[in-house]
Amino acid sequence: MSEWVNGTLADAIASLDAGVSVNAEDRPHGAGEIGVLKTSAISGGAFRAEQNKAVLQHERSLVAEPVQADSILVSRMNTPALVGDSCYIPEEHPTLFLPDRLWQLKPKDRAQLNMRWLSFVLQSADYRRYVEVHATGTSGSMKNLPKSKLLALPVQYPAAVEQSVIAQILDTLDTTIRETEALIDKLKAVKQGLLHDLLTRGVDANGQLRPPQSEAPQLYKESPLGWIPMEWSCRTLAYIANTYAGGTPSRDMPGFFGGDVPWIKSTEVNRESIFSTDEQITQLGLRNSSAKWVPAGTPLIAMYGATAGVVSWLAIPATTNQAVLAAVPNADQHGRWIYWALNWSAPRLLASVQGSGQPNLSKSTVDALILAVPESSEQAAVAKILDQHVSRLAKETNYLTKVRAQKFGLMDDLLTGRVRVTPLLEPAQEPAAPTGA
């Protein structure tokens, strides 16, 4: 088994070619047109071909550098977090061209360099650290990666046959990641459809989604919210839940914070469910403030600023500050249904207070929110369907996190030679690794 060769990217790359800046419409190119890539065409190590703009007809002769098969694109100018991002191109895209902010890497000798393997090198943690050190620019929002620095990137080259096996292993994980991402996107889209259908049509006694009003008008009646099932009623939130906000103990008073009473701020309502809090107050702080206990199983609504209208589920007994409104369900109402109804109604709620600056909700505004309310048994059935769907989405999201971690762990092992793939190699003559001229 041949040893790895220490070199630089320049040892194996024939050229780094950028495109040109052309005028284009902000839409993907269509049939008979050509497109210039956006920098967002490189996303998380993947190529997003749909991220392009249709080049204006009179500018088409100006484009340069079409997207070629078995190449790598690198973002030479971008935000500090994204400069140097790269992706592998498995097949050519003759109607797509590079802008001046992207490079295309082409190898000197494909027999010695597996470009898919190199694409993983350009996603590694070592590469990101290298880019952070060598990217230039005084702007905090935009950085540039000099060509000379990219070509000087230190690279450990295994023999081509070992490059190929490493690429196959990592590519398998990449495929799993892309498939899981696509499934998550699909589940998110389905969730929005489910919210609309279940909160406007509901389910019948058999747990089946009611047909739409256009197909079964006898099942519906008119209401202030439009057509709703005959069995439903339009009620304000105040009619089905007891709403109240909390308060903040004085931070100037010793002994008010650092106790054992969970205390929620509006920024924490960004979490879908709250199982713990960032801060705790003391019983003394609770008694000397407007903070109030909220029972577990209560929907919470952020009232002010950037998080206004965001809804969370309180899974533990806790107190809140004045920017968080609790909606404690009445005994004959289902808490999870109210949670989903508030999520679905948040855009309508915010639209009622939109103006200059960030929206601020008031208790009276939230109390006056009108909801189409089914009986408690149907509420429970609707909430169960939505909860099961979200559980599936969370499961896939957790799986994606695990596979990504597995990929980057393997990258660290395989691309440094810490773990060798020698047992997977067939006994064969191995082409030499690329070396400098």
363, 237: one domain: yes
Number of independent structural domains in the chain: 3
295: containing domain: 233-373
140, 203: one domain: no
60, 79: one domain: yes
- Structural domain includes residue 227: no
163, 151: one domain: no
Q: What is the pLDDT of residue 421?
A: 86
263, 334: one domain: yes
- Structural domain includes residue 226: no
Quote the CA–CA distance of 228 and 83 in Å, as a whole number. 51
- Structural domain includes residue 225: no
Q: Tell me, what CATH number does 57's domain have? A: 3.90.220.20
Q: What is the pLDDT of residue 429?
A: 47
271, 364: one domain: yes
- Structural domain includes residue 85: yes
Q: What is the pLDDT of residue 33?
A: 97
47, 133: one domain: yes
- Structural domain includes residue 359: yes
At which of 126, 157, 188 does a domain end? 157
Q: What is the pLDDT of residue 357?
A: 65
- Structural domain includes residue 350: yes
- Structural domain includes residue 417: yes
Q: What is the pLDDT of residue 437?
A: 46
- Structural domain includes residue 333: yes
At which of 125, 157, 189 does a domain end? 157
pLDDT, averaged in runs of 10, over the chain (437 residues) = 86 96 96 97 94 96 96 96 96 97 96 97 96 90 95 96 96 95 96 96 95 97 97 98 98 95 96 97 97 98 92 98 98 98 94 72 96 98 98 98 96 92 64 58
390, 284: one domain: no
